Structure 1
Amino acid sequence: MRHAQTKAYIEFAQARTRSLYRSAWLLTGGDTHLSEDLVQETLSRMYVVWGRGSDKLGNPAAYAQTVLVRTFLMHRRRRSTATERLTAEPPEYGQQQPRAGGGTGDVALRVTLLHALGRLAPKDRAVLVLRYWEDRSVEETAQALNSTSGAIRTRTARALHRLRAELGEQAADLVPR
């Protein structure tokens, strides 16, 4: 890559890394290590594409988000069925999970939503993150996931239904009053 292209790529990567990480964190259900790996893989792939000419990318930020989601989905397909996550301490048997309405505010809301998102299928999670976190249109989401607009609308409705089912009675506590 020429010096000017390299400098432009570095500026792009520095500007977009936080946003990519936040999206990856949501996609992975809060797995920080996997999120970092996905961002690194995304930026590596962007570097290769950037070397071919960043002027051909159109909207590099949107393209990077698309690469991130596709990398996540590819990782999920290759991954074994084991989904155990290590924690610092084992949970106590019968311990109640904190509720969002328990007075702890926005943190509890985020944790509750993150856990519910983490229990959704990877494609459902990707659709919800792209549509509601990244604020993408149905058409942009369809393009990112290599799907049709109708399929995205259907998947969005079903994913929201599953998310509400995952939240159960906590859903009422999450709605601002």
Structure 2
Amino acid sequence: MADEQQFREFVERQWAVLLRTAYLLTGDRGHAEDLVQAALEKTHRKWGRVSRMDSPVAYVRKAMVNTAVSWRRRRRVSEVPLLAGDAPVGDPYGPLDQRREVIAALRSLPPRMRAVLVLRYFADLSEAETAAALGCSVGSVKSQASRGLDRLRAVLGPAKERENA
């Protein structure tokens, strides 16, 4: 019973952070909520072991990334642009004018590359933590991050130049 209460408290503390990460991984609030639920379901089954880990939230993040990549492989549906009604998940940094453009650009990246950028720069994990979450090498994180940032700059750069003109 204590494990149930501990898990419930963990979910209450981490829900917003996990949902924000899931939103950046999926680009859709509904899919983000489903992703967090799926990852928490997997975590709940192993909570006795997970709760003793140094960072249970890292375990949930890894489950989210793996699940998101798995879902994407299964669906292989073309990307759907964000609709005006797709409200962003709570953002501690305030509203950003280019949010939709950034989300759309993130969604255009391959799932693994998107996961690297989301974990590294939006979840603020170190290169080593990102590598551990994704089960890859630090070198892979560095190269995926570099390529991903280059792709984002290519997509988002012209809009920035038009604004400054």
- Pick the TM interval, shorter chain: 0.7 to 0.9
Query: 5 Å matches for 1:3-152?
Result: 3-29=1-27, 31-52=28-49, 54-55=51-52, 57-84=53-80, 87=83, 106-152=95-141
Gaps of 5+ in 2: 86-93
Percent of residue pairs bearing the same amino acid type: 40
Pairwise CA distance, 1:65: 1.4
Pairwise CA distance, 1:77: 1.6
Gaps of 5+ in 1: 90-104
Relative to 1, partners in 2 of residues 1:36 and 1:78: Cα closer, same or farther, differing over 3 Å?
same
Pairwise CA distance, 1:82: 3.1
Pairwise CA distance, 1:118: 1.5
Separation in 2, partners of 1:139, 1:153: 10
Separation in 2, partners of 1:80, 1:25: 18
Structure showing greater Rg: 1
3-state SS of the aligned residue for 2:125? coil
Pairwise CA distance, 1:108: 1.6
Relative to 1, partners in 2 of residues 1:108 and 1:86: Cα closer, same or farther, differing over 3 Å?
closer
Question: What number of residue pairs does the alignment pair up?
Answer: 156
RMSD: 2.4
Residue type of the alignment partner of 1:6: E
Assess if the C-alpha contact under 8 Å between 1:42 and 1:68 holds in 2: yes
Pairwise CA distance, 1:84: 3.5
3-state SS of the aligned residue for 2:76? coil
